[in-house]
Structure 1
Amino acid sequence: MRHARVRFGFSLLLACGLASTVHAALSEFGIEGMGVVSTVHSEVRGAVAPDGRRIVWGSTDRRGGAGGWDLWQARLIDGRWQDPTPLSVNAQANDFDPAFSADGRWLYFFSNRPGGHGGDDLYRTAVREDGSYGPAENLGPGVNGRGDEWAPTPSRDGRHLLFASDGFGGSGGHDLFVAHWNGRAFVGPTPVPGVNSADDEFDAAWLGDGQTLVFARSKDVEKQPIRLYVAHCDGARYAQAAPLALSFNTEEAYTLGPAIDWNKPGELLVSGSAKAPRAGKMDLYRMKAPAAAGKDGCVAAPPR
């Protein structure tokens, strides 16, 4: 279990300042939905629907959900995120790491609810035409092992799924994998080339169509700080990973949960704790996404 996501250290002061709107201009970064999305609680990994009309995120300690970690949603009303509510798909378990498919038909997440394959499993729920959600669907043994799987991230074309796991081998701890859609399920996870190490790698997002990768790394996700890195594909592997250029993405901080806004693909949502503006323990921030400056070739073709 990702206890490090709630072990963010000491008490944090409520930041002062005007609530930011969804369409506010970005400098280095801007806080997302002050007082509605970003609150005195811990908010991690925001996912904006492709039509830009809703945002979903995970919270470890916000009251009012079904129990455990829950998924929350706010809607765009008069240019601002409003009406935060827990999702109906939440169980009396941990539900976390949301990500919309690029066509808006599915919301992916992980859960440790009963009936899975072990630990945290990957799920998805259908987004209905009226905006409600269908029942949770386990993504099956093709991507769910006996360990913990986190942060499911579908590719733009829906043919690939990027996720983290400690149950499919790898280089040590949690590693990043990519699985392929065979027409019925995501199967055949293979390690993401070039980034996995003896550290924990998790919480990843593709930029462009996989030419560049943003991901989280920690010496020990249960006990140590978490930092975001950027690596560009050299045609075969993601090479020369370097820290994401963001002032609060430091060696001592907890910065994680990168996610591309499908509605604004040039912008990246991240989770962390800036000095200001700040609302609580962990907040959601929006920044300009790094350029997808790599080459094709790092998102492997499905096996034949």
Structure 2
Amino acid sequence: MGQAKVRLATVLAVAVSAALVSGCGAAAAALQEFGIEGMGVVSTPHGEVRASVSPDGQRIVWGSTDRPGGAGGWDLWQATLRDGRWQDPRPLPVNSPANDFDPAFSADGRWLYFFSNREGGFGGDDLYRAAVLADGGFGAVENLGAGVNGKGDEWAPTPGAEGAHLLYASDGFGGAGGHDLFVARWNGAAFVEPQPVPGVNTAADEFDAAWLGDGRTIVFARSDDVGNAPIRLMLAQCDGKAFAEAQPLALSFNTADGNTLAPVVDLSKPSELLVSGSAKAPKAGKLDIYRMRAPVATGQSGCL
């Protein structure tokens, strides 16, 4: 695991825990500014980061940094929808003794993407995927290959709605500095030819990105030094050539001195966004999963 991710692990590990607040996963039914996701099931006293809901809305998968019961390191967890609530949390069979993190379902529900630093990769954290089977299980884990994986760390794979692009972060393909955002294209066999996302990369770290409005808008995480400095979610609209004038995402706990990251569009409710952070209330523990309304995409086409 790269030094930046080690430092980020420290940030998550030392985040202050709070007592469980009574509530349930149905909080989003009365969604105002935001609501916590799956109190006591998804959001717990442990550190939960980056949740993805399947297109049929029947399962949610997320990453945990320290929840007991996994295969080791950082693990992927899943809960299923029953009686309107997330229930039966359990670690995924795709977990390894290494770190497995940053899950995202494909828009067609056929694949689960994530990163791992398991043995056999190209170096550091690599991008992987596993087929989602008809019975709800998962197929064999496959590395996404040298087209997107370098000797550095690749994080937060986000497949495009049409399946033709992959948005992710890397510190192994050059760029403006630290981790940068890249988009690779599907050539029929693999994702290849990663190009910097226009307009967003800086000398800081940019990572954990999601497209809104078919790529006309992007929301992403930025930190001056991930793991040593606060992390904030930013929003930028495409001006036809680049994502311009990124501004902090309008969310009350997305502050300059906090840690808010990992935006993922709910594939079963595209008007809603899942993010990771720490609100004063409701609060379950370290970093929790929250649900908010997705910002309106007002940008133009031309940035993909």
Common topology (TM > 0.5) = yes
**Among 192, 201, 214, the residue aligned to 1:196:** 201
Normalization by structure 1: what TM-score? 0.97
Q: Which amino acid aligns with 2:31?
A: L
Contact 1:23 1:79 in 2 (8 A): no
**Identical-residue share of aligned pairs (%):** 69
**Among 19, 28, 36, the residue aligned to 2:33:** 28
What does residue range 11-160 of structure 1 map to in structure 2 within 5 Å?
A: 11-21=16-26, 24-160=29-165
Q: CA deviation at 1:18?
A: 2.3
Contact 1:22 1:81 in 2 (8 A): no
**Among 249, 265, 272, the residue aligned to 1:267:** 272
**Among 277, 294, 303, the residue aligned to 1:289:** 294
With over 3 angstroms needed to count, the CA separation of the structure-2 counterparts of 1:73 and 1:6, relative to structure 1, is farther
Structure 1 position 161 matched with structure 2 position 157: no
Match of 2:263 in 1: 258
Contact 1:72 1:86 in 2 (8 A): yes
Match of 2:177 in 1: 172
Whole-Å separation in 1 of the counterparts to 2:27 and 2:190: 35
Output the aligned Cα RMSD.
1.0
Structure 1: gaps spanning 5 or more residues: 300-304
Match of 1:7 in 2: 11
Normalization by structure 2: what TM-score? 0.97
Q: CA deviation at 1:246?
A: 0.4
Q: CA deviation at 1:15?
A: 4.0
Note the alpha carbon deviations across 1:31-75, whole angstroms, 9 max, x for none.
000000000000000000000000000000000000000000000
Whole-Å separation in 2 of the counterparts to 1:215 and 1:43: 18
Match of 2:249 in 1: 244
Contact 2:27 2:36 in 1 (8 A): no
Structure 1 position 226 matched with structure 2 position 231: yes
Q: Which amino acid aligns with 1:129?
A: A
Note the alpha carbon deviations across 1:86-122, whole angstroms, 9 max, x for none.
0000000000000000000000000000000000000
Q: CA deviation at 1:229?
A: 0.1
Aligned length: 299
Q: CA deviation at 1:10?
A: 4.3
* Secondary structure of the corresponding residue to residue 123 of structure 1: strand
What does residue range 205-224 of structure 1 map to in structure 2 within 5 Å?
A: 205-224=210-229
Whole-Å separation in 2 of the counterparts to 1:79 and 1:6: 35
* Secondary structure of the corresponding residue to residue 103 of structure 1: coil
Contact 2:101 2:114 in 1 (8 A): yes
Range 62-71 or range 18-27, more displaced = 18-27
Whole-Å separation in 1 of the counterparts to 2:58 and 2:27: 10
Bigger helix fraction: 2
Contact 2:125 2:155 in 1 (8 A): yes
Whole-Å separation in 1 of the counterparts to 2:171 and 2:284: 32
Note the alpha carbon deviations across 1:183-241, whole angstroms, 9 max, x for none.
00000000000000000000000001000000000000021110000000000000000
Contact 2:28 2:36 in 1 (8 A): no
Q: Which amino acid aligns with 1:229?
A: M
